[in-house]
Amino acid sequence: MARDLTWLSATELSALLEARELTSVELVQACLARVQAVDGRVKAFNSRDEAAALAAARDADARRAAGQARGPLDGIPVGFKDVIAVEGQPLTCSSKMLANYVSPYDATVTTRLKAAGAIPLGRLNLDEFAMGSSTENSAFGPTANPWDLTRVPGGSSGGSAAAVAAGELPLTLGSDTGGSIRQPAALCGIVGLKPTYGLVSRFGLAAYASSLDQIGPLARSVDDAALLLQAIAGHDERDSTSFKAGVPDYRAEIAKRSGPWRIGVPKEFFGAGLDSEVGVAVQAAIEHYRKTGCEIREVSLPLAAEQAIAVYYLIATAEASSNLARYDGIRYGHRAAKAKDVVDLYFQSRAEGFGDEVKRRIILGTHVLSSGYYDAYYLRAQKVRTLIRNEFAAVLTDCDVLLSPTSPTAAFKLGEKSSDPLAMYLTDIYTISVNLAGLPGISVPCGFTAGGLPVGLQLIGRPFDEAGLLAIARHYEQAHDWSQRHPVL
């Protein structure tokens, strides 16, 4: 095959499939060849089923030949963060606890992607049970940043981001509880979208913190993210927090939104702790919006900036300690070989199956929910969460979108923060409040450091206004060529 498919966007690949200049089998083979060539160094994949992917690609080609293609994703390979169920395939959550687990059913997002003709091509590495910001907390070893293999790809959806950045897959799904799509997207130089809480079904997503978790796309362009969002968004009765509303045609809606926009810049998100090179790149993005006619407004989010991490680590760990109680060694998952009785089996199976960070968060979550501490920690955190949501709602009445860095620094070194949990938690300082408020957030590439590491720009939108958010992100993206740079692997 003469054409190099490695860095083409899903939108471009879709057009080639539509024009019959490319077959899905060729595309899947090209992805598998790229995985073969680079994944030994990047280590984005936990598992893949090449035979199943090629069979699905042949079906897609047959549909297209018969004039029955199912739409723009038909025949396009998609990778799944290894917390999303794909029937008959492993689902490990990058945990020893689920090392041998096979999904008995499809997640709703998987069902919808299969219906759209997309081809599931493997499960991607993460911090165990999505707890982490570097993909170092994986039972199967860390994923490397394709731009510098000695650095982290971010996390927890580090495998999903690295696979796209390394040219292994055009599209992947991640999940975002406190920044786990946007932060790795920023650190790997790609686009990552966390949808509004309730837009995408969580059915079949292994639960970490249910009131914060949301599945979303990682992609090479804003259009690609919209393409993938279109296929997975919408009400699902199997998720009781799924929102009952129509899903717009994102591509058509994005085209209608032409600005100029009112862009809020939270002053607290540019203070101490922000790396100067990241700050310079984000300021340049602000200038771009200003020069193209947008109104830039300084806004203030004092509670989101000051209290969000504290609120998050109380609420998320409380929910995690409850959600992860299901891993008891009885019905599925790791079972300790030597236990005295059934209660000892719980203790030993969990001790053997969970890694360090998961244990730490279970302990913290159990503590903050325990008698005598519930009001002081958990209940107070839920109240401050209300105040943070109100703070965002107030500034978003006068602004179409908020703009900030995605992460305070570019990719850090493997091992640099792994012994200091609090330092690791602080890397999510600009993303976490967005989950608490349930808002949509996107990270788009906005430059590079002098050392050649990608920098991400975060835009935060109004609830269920993904179309507006994507349009404003695309406005910046179309005027810059950051996504045309690729790591050398």
Partner 1 sequence: MTGGVTLLPVAKPPAGRLLGGRHCPTMSAGSDLNIDYVANLARLALTEEQKTRYARQLGDILHYVDKLKQVDVSGVEPMAHAAPVFNVWQDDVPRSGLSTDQALRNAPAQRQNMIVVPKVVE
Site for partner 1 in 144-203 (CB under 8 A): 197-198
Residue 243 CB, shortest distance to partner 1, in Å, is 6
* Using rule CB under 8 A, residue 338 touches partner 1: no
Which of 72, 122, 264, 333 contacts partner 1 by CB under 8 A? 333
**Binding partner 1 by CB under 8 A: which of 115, 351, 394, 479?**
351
The least distance separating partner 1 from the CB of residue 314, rounded to whole angstroms, comes to 6
Which residue is associated with the tokens 């079904």?
Answer: 201
Please tell me whether residue 360 binds partner 1 under the rule CB under 8 A. Answer: yes
Which of residues 310, 416, 448, 480 is near partner 1 by CB under 8 A? 310
393 binds partner 1 (CB under 8 A): no
The string of DSSP codes covering 189-243 is: TSEEEEPPTTTB--TTBPPSSTTT--EEEEESSHHHHHHHHHHHBS--TTSTT--
Which two structure tokens, joined as six digits, stand for 90? 């492993």
Q: Which two tokens stand for residue 146?
A: 């394709």
Task: Estimate the crossing angle of helix 108-115 against helix 222-232, to 10 degrees.
Answer: 110
Which residue in the set 309, 414, 432, 459 belongs to the binding site for partner 1 (CB under 8 A)? 309
Query: By CB under 8 A, is residue 344 in contact with partner 1?
Result: yes
Q: Which stretch binds partner 1 (CB under 8 A): 20-28, 126-134, 406-414, 432-440?
A: 432-440
Q: Scanning residues 82 to 121, which ones bind partner 1 (CB under 8 A)?
A: 100-102, 104-105
What is the closest distance, in whole angstroms, from the C-beta atom of residue 480 to partner 1 in the complex? 32
480, 157 contact by CB (below 8 A): no
Contacts of 423 (CB under 8 A, 6+ apart): 417
Closest CA to 223 of 270, 255, 181, 200: 255
Q: Pick the binder of partner 1 from 131, 303, 403, 460 (CB under 8 A).
A: 303
Residues numbered 372-391 forming contacts with partner 1, rule: CB under 8 A = 372-377, 379-387, 389
Are the C-beta atoms of residues 33 and 1 closer than 8 Å to each other?
Answer: no
* Ordered strands of the 119-124 beta sheet: 45-47, 119-124, 77-81, 171-175, 215-219, 191-194, 441-448, 454-460, 401-405, 262-266, 295-299
Nearer to partner 1, 298 or 341 (CB): 341
List 306, 395, 416, 480, residue binding partner 1 (CB under 8 A): 306
In the bound complex, what is the minimum distance in angstroms from residue 319's beta carbon to partner 1?
A: 10
Minimum CB separation from partner 1 for residue 211, in Å? 4
Residue selected from 142, 438, 456, 461 as contacting partner 1 according to rule CB under 8 A: 438
Binding residues for partner 1, total number by CB under 8 A: 81
| Beta bridge pairs of residue 45 | 124
Q: For residue 216, what are the CA distances in angstroms to 244, 274, 315, 470?
A: 18, 26, 21, 13
Strand partners, 413: 151
Q: How far is the CB of 419 from partner 1 (least distance, A)?
A: 9
Minimum gap (Å) between residue 261 Cβ and partner 1: 23
Q: From residue 172, give the alpha-carbon distance in Å to each of 44, 102, 441.
A: 11, 20, 17
List binders of partner 1 among 233-292 (CB under 8 A): 237, 240-244
Minimum Å gap between C-beta 406 and partner 1 is: 20
CA distance 489 to 41: 9
Which residues are catalytic, by number?
A: 81, 156, 180
- Residue corresponding to tokens 């680079």: 38
Residue list 2-61, contact with partner 1 (CB under 8 A):
none
Candidate list 1, 325, 394, 479; residue touching partner 1; CB under 8 A: 325
Q: Residue 285 corresponds to which tokens in the numbers above? A: 């993005």
Residue 182 C-beta: closest distance to partner 1, Å:
16
- When binding is defined by CB under 8 A, the residue of 9, 133, 348, 483 that contacts partner 1 is 348
Q: What are the residues facing 298 on neighbouring strands? A: 265
Query: CB under 8 A: which stretch of 78-86, 119-127, 216-224, 348-356 binds partner 1?
Result: 348-356
Decide whether 149 or 336 has the Cβ nearer to partner 1. Answer: 336
| 384 vs 169: CA distance, rounded Å | 40
β-pairing verdict for 454-460 and 215-219: unpaired
Closer residue to partner 1 in complex, CB, 423/479? 423
In three-state secondary structure terms, 334 is coil
Q: Which stretch binds partner 1 (CB under 8 A): 107-115, 137-145, 253-261, 433-441?
A: 433-441
Residue 459 identity: L
Q: Which stretch binds partner 1 (CB under 8 A): 34-42, 62-70, 204-212, 452-460?
A: 204-212
- Considering only residues 443 to 482 of the shown chain, the ones binding partner 1 according to CB under 8 A are 463
